[in-house]
Amino acid sequence: MGHRPDGADGGAGCRASGRAGESVPATPSEVILPLAGFAASRGELGLVSAIVFTTLGSIVGALALYGVGAGLGRDRTRAIAEKLPLVKVRDIDKAEDWFNRHGPKAVLIGRLVPVVRSLISVPAGVERMPVGLFLPLTAIGSLVWNSLLIVAGYQLGERWHVVESSVGVFQKLVIAGAVAAVVWFVAVKIRARRSDPEKVK
């Protein structure tokens, strides 16, 4: 058929894919997003449209999981997760631990880490993180992640599946960067506290 840079059907499919990758951890975005990029490279949908619609889908999925955490609380959410075939309780625990260690920053950084990115919204909801903060952090993190994988699939073309095997390396780089950022932040705070008494003297 003809070139459809902004096809409605493609946009709807991207939104659905984004929601699936965000709210169903068993649906890996590492596969869905590069495939969307490949479709864009063939002219089946626009590159920008793919990024925008998958990001919107990610936000909707994240809000749904936020609502689950806020509405059910930690214990009931974990109890339900134990009965779901596609969700692992240890993954929820991993996301919760990530949130407890990094606070609101976890919502932004966690979007770049597979598994954590899908479930970080749950502890954010449980802790009733302000929606006004949750939404922009989710949007920024999702936009960065979706753009990276979609553009990679777009550039690789028929070799889009190579992206999936490279995500593990990327995940390690993100975690290392997050640790370095936390260490730097703590060092700055300690240095500031040590300099305050000197100023008073």
Cα distances from 62 to residues 5, 97, 110, 189, in angstroms, run 27, 18, 12, 32
Q: Dmax over Cα atoms in the chain, in whole Å?
A: 77
- The Cα–Cα gap between 94 and 180 comes to 20
Query: What pTM, to 2 d.p., does this model score?
Result: 0.66
What is the tens place of the pLDDT at every residue in 21-44? 454 454 566 677 877 888 888 887
Beta carbons within 10 angstroms of residue 81's beta carbon:
19
What is the tens place of the pLDDT at every residue in 115-133? 788 789 999 999 999 999 9
